[in-house]
A and B are shown apart, each in its own frame.
Chain A
């Protein structure tokens, strides 16, 4: 479908949705940072307008609206012409809405969570920066604009993960996130260059429509795989997945934002954005599918042994992102995007609920929270259960439907192995989710309520405003996590312009996966839920396996070694030595040689006439002898 230019109203509305968060960032960071109330008002109201605009763009435009495209020349340097603008099609409209909604809810929630923190105004300015980068990424009409904001999303998460940078672990986690995603971005950037040099135009619509016809198959595969490297970094896929669990060093609302609608979602969004391009290369889709599967299985095992509540959710994010990529890799555009949508709602909810517990009990450990009496907090306890059900894929929560559509796509593949892996993953997801919920619901011994232990910002923790600021977003998200699943057909129609492809429905699939989910929950019940349960998983009987899982398959250790021994130990050390000894030493040697030569020659200047005469005679004699011999 050919793109149309936006009407004036849509143009200004979209620009408002894109630019208000940036204006809010600039205003807060450079002008109103010292006035907290004003800064909060600026940030939240900008986010609210952006939210309304996004919802209008999703629902207010006609259903069969052809893509709306608007472009201005941003940079022109010979071959590389970068345009700045926006592209509104069903995918970007849906995603825009998700991003704007989650970031608005997170901003509201943070009013309670961050109350009393010194850097609260700065925190809001970074949240606005994050929203701006992500929104501009989502609506980008060209791959280069997308890359620019892709990097800015990375920067924003660096700033927010390391927000409490007085803690070493926080600044370390921020750095790790930035460098590891940068590693993947190298591939992304190379892929862009390859496409740019061969196509000359990186408009997403043209790329999707024409790349397959204009490029050779090998080139499509190569550039698709290179671009996918960026996705691996950003969406924390194998082998670059270890930064995400560390990234929870940031404030919990940031984790909610990072794990649901921004940062990591950007990777999956990119594959969906370029889906027709990827679909042109079966090999590239196979790479996506394989990486997604490996990641999903690995991170599920890690989540099964984690004790830290945020870490469980972090690993589950990695594995759910793997699920989305499996859906896309299996060739179903809808399945991946649908799971991205439902996941955004329930994962944000999981983190925000956990934030309430962490805020209240000052601990991340799920056993500590349970013993402290976590289940007394009614709103978060009920909403976390709803979200957990969605994550585990229990009917009728949203996760069930979206996971089912992914399973449907996997069942359509010729090899049954992918479906088996997917089902195993679903069972593990059910197990680790219900493990955590059972620990919270059925603590072994409950301590008397005490209030001496708190996270930061106690002052606001008990205020009614703080309570509702944190509570209302939970309820809204819980509503989404419950009902979003029933909009599957609507989203399917919407994404495919009202002409969805035919799906082959496997009648046996839903019962099979529900039985597996029930097995997972049952196992968790036996070990963690029932009265006599020891609250120790079956993995604790296999210490070696448990250690393997708990140490993240030693991937972190591997990277640490590479960094210490290869980057610092070999390259950095050798180059530095070379610089001191060879390059610099060589020059100093020349200097010393010059000085030494001068010293040697200085002996000729003895001032003794007889030596001078002797030398003169000697040289004349030698010259004479030379001419005699030659002639």
Chain B
């Protein structure tokens, strides 16, 4: 059904408009820059919330559709729409963007450029999640990747040039697989259209799907942190400034998994069936491996980075099960992990900004110095180890049940990752926040009252969907159900 008012364009273009306004603001009006960014993020968030509540879950399918022919000769459409799969991810992006901008309120260095690049990146992210046209999807995908380089290289820390370069090269290498994949499908389908929905109905030959899915799996998989193409992610997380880490780990990595789901699985279901065992093995290795490597890290941000590798492995495992529960769990996990990691990075960001260190051995006893930052970190860490009544528990539950059902051995192995991840997260909590009051940092201030709100929004989201999982899952299942029909 077609929308009366282009809400999706509003969501996507509000940051673009904010970006335009910022470009015309003078360099030294930092206040105005911040407010423009925050307001544009708020407009996106409000529009997303409206779409979230107005989406008809009984009817399901694509809604709020906007479809206009753009280039006729090539079959390119400006085609946006939401269903149960991308709606949670758009919500995730809006929440993380809004809280991320707020978290960076105190930034002093090159404020205008920072917020401009951040908004540009988010336009790309929204574009990927909303676009149903492969051409637009790919363009937006690259739009979302490119601002990462300056954002990390200029505002980052700890080997920032290396981290930025590595990340960019990795992700561009991924793109280099995706573009041929898209063109391959485009020509082999014989339809000469980039319209995703039409292509999915084309019924591609099994060998085309085989190669196509391979390209999409590894092309997008790089961004999803699929083992063994994950090493860019911890390095990049560590180097990036707080809000960029939040968006990067919280949202950007989901673009990869979403790409595998929306492009790979949707267009090449037969290809997934062929590649699923390899996909599941890589996912399981990532889950266990990420947890063990995380155990050995001494840098707080590296720890979170490797926990992301482990958690994104769960997303991949869920997708590889090809079942309704597993794929729904994977989508839920994308959402839950995004919110949780954003909260982790925003708390660590505060600790780092005030103490100027993120090395675990130098910290310790921070709970007495910064109780608020500690509370948020611990809550997110507990969500990360799958404590019930916090959002990720339900996602992990579904992924594990279906993982075990489809791949009993891999499922059991992945389960054992739960113990290791509990060990390493609690170890970090203990070493960083517990212990006698840290006199060295006694003067470091806690999060001030107005800056609690962005963290409280994230924490509240974790609790809300943890206590009432149906709010999220009922939407996701509606979107996933038609997809898994393709695998039968």
Is B a genuine binding partner of A? Answer: yes
Report which A residues bind B (CB closer than 8 A): 73-80, 147-149, 151-152, 155, 158, 162, 165-166, 168, 171-172, 174-175, 178-179, 182-183, 186, 189-190, 193, 196-197, 567-568, 571-573, 575-576, 579, 583-584, 587, 591
The yes or no answer to B398 lying at the interface (CB within 8 A) is: yes
Tell me how far the C-beta of B452 lies from the nearest C-beta in chain A, rounded to whole angstroms.
12
The answer to whether A178 and B426 have CB atoms under 8 Å apart is yes
The answer to whether B367 and A77 have CB atoms under 8 Å apart is no
Report which B residues bind A (CB closer than 8 A): 166, 169-170, 228, 230-231, 289, 292-293, 295-297, 323-325, 328-329, 332, 365, 367-368, 382, 386-389, 393-394, 397-398, 400-402, 404-405, 411-412, 415-416, 418-420, 422-423, 426-427, 430, 433-437, 469-470, 473-474, 477
Selected contact of A75 from candidates B323, B368, B469, CB within 8 Å: B469
Tell me how far the C-beta of A93 lies from the nearest C-beta in chain B, rounded to whole angstroms.
24
Cα distance A75–B405 in the bound complex, in angstroms: 19
Selected contact of A155 from candidates B382, B402, B420, CB within 8 Å: B382
The answer to whether A162 and B434 have CB atoms under 8 Å apart is yes
13 interchain pairs, CB-CB under 8 A: A77-B394, A79-B401, A148-B389, A155-B382, A155-B387, A166-B365, A172-B430, A175-B423, A196-B401, A567-B423, A571-B292, A572-B292, A587-B170
Tell me how far the C-beta of A189 lies from the nearest C-beta in chain B, rounded to whole angstroms.
7
Tell me how far the C-beta of B306 lies from the nearest C-beta in chain A, rounded to whole angstroms.
9
The answer to whether A175 and B426 have CB atoms under 8 Å apart is yes
Tell me how far the C-beta of A197 lies from the nearest C-beta in chain B, rounded to whole angstroms.
5
Cα distance A78–B422 in the bound complex, in angstroms: 27
A186 contacts which chain B residues (CB < 8 A)? Answer: 415-416, 418-419
**Contact A151/B435 with A80-B325, A193-B401, A575-B293 known, Cβ cut-off 8 Å:** no
The answer to whether B388 and A152 have CB atoms under 8 Å apart is yes
The answer to whether A575 and B435 have CB atoms under 8 Å apart is no
Selected contact of B228 from candidates A74, A147, A583, CB within 8 Å: A583
Selected contact of A175 from candidates B166, B297, B367, B430, CB within 8 Å: B430
**Closest residue on chain B to residue A196 by CB atoms:** B401
The answer to whether A179 and B293 have CB atoms under 8 Å apart is no
The answer to whether B477 and A148 have CB atoms under 8 Å apart is no
**Contact A77/B329 with A179-B419, A568-B296, A579-B231 known, Cβ cut-off 8 Å:** yes
| Additional 20 contacts, C-beta under 8 A, given A73-B470, A77-B394 | A74-B470, A75-B470, A75-B473, A76-B477, A77-B329, A77-B473, A77-B477, A78-B324, A148-B393, A152-B387, A162-B434, A165-B430, A166-B435, A166-B437, A171-B435, A178-B426, A568-B295, A572-B295, A575-B289, A579-B231
The answer to whether B398 and A80 have CB atoms under 8 Å apart is yes
> Which of B296, B328, B412, B435 is the most central at the interface, judged by chain A CB atoms within 10 Å of its CB?
B296
The answer to whether A76 and B423 have CB atoms under 8 Å apart is no
The answer to whether A79 and B325 have CB atoms under 8 Å apart is yes
Selected contact of A572 from candidates B169, B293, B426, B434, CB within 8 Å: B293
Cα distance A571–B417 in the bound complex, in angstroms: 12
B473 contacts which chain A residues (CB < 8 A)? Answer: 75-77
Tell me how far the C-beta of B411 lies from the nearest C-beta in chain A, rounded to whole angstroms.
8
Cα distance A584–B422 in the bound complex, in angstroms: 26
A183 contacts which chain B residues (CB < 8 A)? Answer: 419
**Closest residue on chain B to residue A187 by CB atoms:** B415
A189 contacts which chain B residues (CB < 8 A)? Answer: 400, 415
The answer to whether A573 and B296 have CB atoms under 8 Å apart is yes
**Closest residue on chain B to residue A118 by CB atoms:** B368
B435 contacts which chain A residues (CB < 8 A)? Answer: 165-166, 168, 171
Q: Is the interface of A mostly helix, strand, loop or mixed?
A: helix
The answer to whether B397 and A80 have CB atoms under 8 Å apart is yes
The answer to whether B422 and A179 have CB atoms under 8 Å apart is yes
A74 contacts which chain B residues (CB < 8 A)? Answer: 469-470
Cα distance A162–B324 in the bound complex, in angstroms: 40
The answer to whether A78 and B328 have CB atoms under 8 Å apart is yes
The answer to whether B422 and A178 have CB atoms under 8 Å apart is yes
> Which of B292, B411, B435, B470 is the most central at the interface, judged by chain A CB atoms within 10 Å of its CB?
B292
**Contact A166/B388 with A74-B470, A75-B470, A182-B422 known, Cβ cut-off 8 Å:** no
The answer to whether A77 and B388 have CB atoms under 8 Å apart is no
**Closest residue on chain B to residue A147 by CB atoms:** B388
B365 contacts which chain A residues (CB < 8 A)? Answer: 166
**Closest residue on chain A to residue B378 by CB atoms:** A159
> Which of A73, A76, A78, A158 is the most central at the interface, judged by chain B CB atoms within 10 Å of its CB?
A78
B419 contacts which chain A residues (CB < 8 A)? Answer: 179, 182-183, 186
**Closest residue on chain B to residue A170 by CB atoms:** B434
The 7 closest A-B pairs by CB, nearest first: A78-B325, A165-B434, A78-B324, A171-B434, A148-B388, A75-B469, A576-B296
Tell me how far the C-beta of B417 lies from the nearest C-beta in chain A, rounded to whole angstroms.
10
The answer to whether A78 and B323 have CB atoms under 8 Å apart is yes
The answer to whether B404 and A193 have CB atoms under 8 Å apart is yes
Cα distance A428–B74 in the bound complex, in angstroms: 86
B436 contacts which chain A residues (CB < 8 A)? Answer: 166
> Which of A197, A568, A576 is the most central at the interface, judged by chain B CB atoms within 10 Å of its CB?
A576
Selected contact of B387 from candidates A151, A175, A571, A587, CB within 8 Å: A151
B397 contacts which chain A residues (CB < 8 A)? Answer: 77, 80
A573 contacts which chain B residues (CB < 8 A)? Answer: 296
Cα distance A73–B468 in the bound complex, in angstroms: 10
B430 contacts which chain A residues (CB < 8 A)? Answer: 165, 171-172, 175
Cα distance A356–B398 in the bound complex, in angstroms: 47
**Closest residue on chain B to residue A186 by CB atoms:** B415
The answer to whether A166 and B434 have CB atoms under 8 Å apart is yes
A579 contacts which chain B residues (CB < 8 A)? Answer: 231, 289, 293
Cα distance A603–B433 in the bound complex, in angstroms: 57
Tell me how far the C-beta of A385 lies from the nearest C-beta in chain B, rounded to whole angstroms.
38
The answer to whether A575 and B292 have CB atoms under 8 Å apart is yes
Cα distance A174–B367 in the bound complex, in angstroms: 16
**Closest residue on chain A to residue B294 by CB atoms:** A572
B388 contacts which chain A residues (CB < 8 A)? Answer: 147-149, 151-152
Tell me how far the C-beta of B368 lies from the nearest C-beta in chain A, rounded to whole angstroms.
7
**Closest residue on chain B to residue A588 by CB atoms:** B166
**Contact A75/B394 with A182-B418, A572-B293 known, Cβ cut-off 8 Å:** yes
> Which of B325, B368, B388 is the most central at the interface, judged by chain A CB atoms within 10 Å of its CB?
B388
**Closest residue on chain B to residue A175 by CB atoms:** B426
The answer to whether B434 and A576 have CB atoms under 8 Å apart is no
A155 contacts which chain B residues (CB < 8 A)? Answer: 382, 387
Tell me how far the C-beta of A629 lies from the nearest C-beta in chain B, rounded to whole angstroms.
36
A197 contacts which chain B residues (CB < 8 A)? Answer: 401, 404-405
The answer to whether B474 and A76 have CB atoms under 8 Å apart is yes
**Closest residue on chain A to residue B421 by CB atoms:** A182
A152 contacts which chain B residues (CB < 8 A)? Answer: 387-389
A76 contacts which chain B residues (CB < 8 A)? Answer: 470, 473-474, 477
The answer to whether B368 and A166 have CB atoms under 8 Å apart is yes
A175 contacts which chain B residues (CB < 8 A)? Answer: 423, 426-427, 430
The answer to whether A591 and B437 have CB atoms under 8 Å apart is no
Cα distance A78–B406 in the bound complex, in angstroms: 14
Tell me how far the C-beta of B239 lies from the nearest C-beta in chain A, rounded to whole angstroms.
14
Cα distance A155–B301 in the bound complex, in angstroms: 24
The answer to whether B477 and A78 have CB atoms under 8 Å apart is yes
The answer to whether B477 and A165 have CB atoms under 8 Å apart is no
**Closest residue on chain A to residue B169 by CB atoms:** A591
**Closest residue on chain B to residue A587 by CB atoms:** B231
A190 contacts which chain B residues (CB < 8 A)? Answer: 404, 412, 415
A80 contacts which chain B residues (CB < 8 A)? Answer: 325, 397-398, 401
